[in-house]
Homo-oligomer: A and B are copies of this chain.
Amino acid sequence: MTDPLIVGWAHTKFGKAEAPDTMALMAEVALPALEHAGIAPDAVDGIFTGVYNNGFQRQDFQGALVAMGSPELAGVPFMRTENACATGSAALYAAADFIASGRGKVALVIGAEKMTAIPIADVGGVLLSASFVAEEGDTPGGFAGVFGRITDSYFQRNGDRSEELAMIAAKNHENGTRNPYAHMQKAFDLAFCNTPSDKNPLVAGPLRRTDCSLVSDGAAAIVLAAPEVAETLTRAIRFRARAQVGDMLALSRRDPTEFAGAHRVWGKALDQAGLAISDLSLVETHDCFTTAEMIEYEAMGLAPRGQGWRVIREGTTRMDGALPVNPSGGLKSRGHPIGATGVSQHVMAAMQLTGDAGAMQVPGATLAGVFNMGGTAVANYCSILEREK
């Protein structure tokens, strides 16, 4: 497999956007990403969009919206992918397959979501359409309710880890203050994150508002190019690994505190890359809830099962730790526009590797891991990126 390289990107500031819909959001990143890559629109062979939708807006056929917003791309073949909260990675991997298969040499990948156009009270219901609706579709509190239960189970087995969750929240909020693309660029200290209050109420089970990612609008784009095209450009990031693993959707069919799919996909990715987790300079991981980041520490192999909480307590994943996790602030403070997230994570990692991460920069970053999941570790993607030039 001759995988294509990441040669350019663009990213909106996540948050409540003025752009009224995904068409407008995608238009904000499509041509800028190509310009960043130094590639003309007429050199694009395929467009891959990742949008969850299913209720966020009536307009679907989201692949067709890119050229509507950027007519320079009229005529280019396009498609849309969906894989719940891993929708963005699904688009990226489909585009990488497209180029590696020889069907094209340049692909434009755009993940986007407009979440704030519908009443906030309806957002939870849309998101639960990515759970196993027959069993989980009416969970009070939406996906926070699902993760509230997972957190409860985890605490029952491994002790109350509320403080460690708050430490993860405080870390990611602190990191987010250095990310100009983040929805929330404001620090919240451990005491605030750890203490339920009017401003930080309990949302579901032991989860406080600061344990939950945000409802955001946003788009992120990546340009992929075949090696012979990348050679002619100024910047190139290679996939040392890209691995994908599925797991059963229904939580009733497995132990939801295990994240077995996340374990397996990290194992596959590190194998493919011939690396150990300790070789990585940083990881961007899927912290839709702080509980997720804690369990993902276990999936990465940073701690045995049930002991992910030790990792944040020991400081390993802080900016000054051995393996900074979510230097971008993660979904927690960057925001989580569903379809955009997987693409955004890869952009954040790529910026680190080219030394363009500004105040977020992990000094001397050479290898970055990205973990993105749909559902509760149901659709699992893990990339390991390395700078080529």
Interface set of A (CB-CB < 8 Å, partner B): 1, 3, 46-47, 52-54, 58-65, 67-68, 71, 74-84, 90, 93-94, 96-103, 129-134, 137, 244-250, 253, 261, 264, 374-375, 378-379
Please name 19 further chain A to chain B contacts, defined as beta carbons within 8 Å, in addition to the given A52-B60, A61-B83, A67-B246, sorted by A numbering. Answer: A54-B60, A60-B84, A60-B130, A61-B84, A61-B375, A61-B379, A62-B82, A63-B379, A64-B132, A64-B246, A64-B248, A64-B374, A64-B375, A64-B378, A71-B248, A74-B247, A75-B247, A79-B82, A100-B100
* Contact present for A97 and B103 (CB under 8 Å): yes
10 contacts between A and B (CB under 8 A): A61-B374, A62-B82, A63-B82, A64-B379, A68-B248, A71-B253, A79-B81, A81-B82, A97-B98, A101-B101
Give Cα A53–Cα B137 distance, bound, in whole angstroms. 17
- Distance in angstroms from A156 CB to nearest chain B CB is 26
Which residue of B68, B80, B101, B247 is within 8 Å of A81 (Cβ)?
B80
Q: Which residues of B contact A65 (CB under 8 A)?
A: 249
Q: Which residues of B contact A245 (CB under 8 A)?
A: 75, 77
* Contact present for B84 and A249 (CB under 8 Å): no
* Contact present for A77 and B246 (CB under 8 Å): yes
* Contact present for B244 and A77 (CB under 8 Å): yes
Give Cα A130–Cα B62 distance, bound, in whole angstroms. 8
* Contact present for A79 and B1 (CB under 8 Å): no
Q: Which residues of B contact A374 (CB under 8 A)?
A: 61, 64
- Distance in angstroms from A87 CB to nearest chain B CB is 9
* Contact present for B83 and A137 (CB under 8 Å): no
Give Cα A81–Cα B97 distance, bound, in whole angstroms. 14
- Distance in angstroms from A160 CB to nearest chain B CB is 31
Q: Which residues of B contact A67 (CB under 8 A)?
A: 246, 248-249
Number of copies of this kind of chain in the complex: 2
Q: Which residues of B contact A261 (CB under 8 A)?
A: 75
Q: Which residues of B contact A53 (CB under 8 A)?
A: 54
Q: Which residues of B contact A46 (CB under 8 A)?
A: 244
- Distance in angstroms from A199 CB to nearest chain B CB is 33
Q: Which residues of B contact A101 (CB under 8 A)?
A: 1, 3, 96-101
Residue of B nearest to A254 (CB): B74
Q: Which residues of B contact A96 (CB under 8 A)?
A: 101
Q: Which residues of B contact A71 (CB under 8 A)?
A: 248, 253
8 tightest Cβ-Cβ pairs between the two chains A and B: A100-B101, A1-B102, A77-B244, A64-B249, A97-B97, A97-B101, A61-B130, A59-B133
* Contact present for B74 and A246 (CB under 8 Å): yes
- Distance in angstroms from A45 CB to nearest chain B CB is 10
Which residue of B83, B103, B131 is within 8 Å of A63 (Cβ)?
B83
* Contact present for A59 and B129 (CB under 8 Å): yes
* Contact present for B75 and A83 (CB under 8 Å): no
- Distance in angstroms from A74 CB to nearest chain B CB is 5
* Contact present for B1 and A78 (CB under 8 Å): no
Give Cα A10–Cα B58 distance, bound, in whole angstroms. 32
* Contact present for B68 and A250 (CB under 8 Å): yes
* Contact present for A83 and B94 (CB under 8 Å): no
- Distance in angstroms from A52 CB to nearest chain B CB is 7
* Contact present for B82 and A94 (CB under 8 Å): no
Q: Which residues of B contact A264 (CB under 8 A)?
A: 75
Q: Which residues of B contact A97 (CB under 8 A)?
A: 94, 97-98, 100-101, 103
Q: Which residues of B contact A98 (CB under 8 A)?
A: 94, 97, 101
* Contact present for A246 and B75 (CB under 8 Å): yes
Q: Which residues of B contact A132 (CB under 8 A)?
A: 59, 64, 68
Q: Which residues of B contact A378 (CB under 8 A)?
A: 61, 64
* Contact present for B68 and A129 (CB under 8 Å): no
Residue of B nearest to A48 (CB): B94
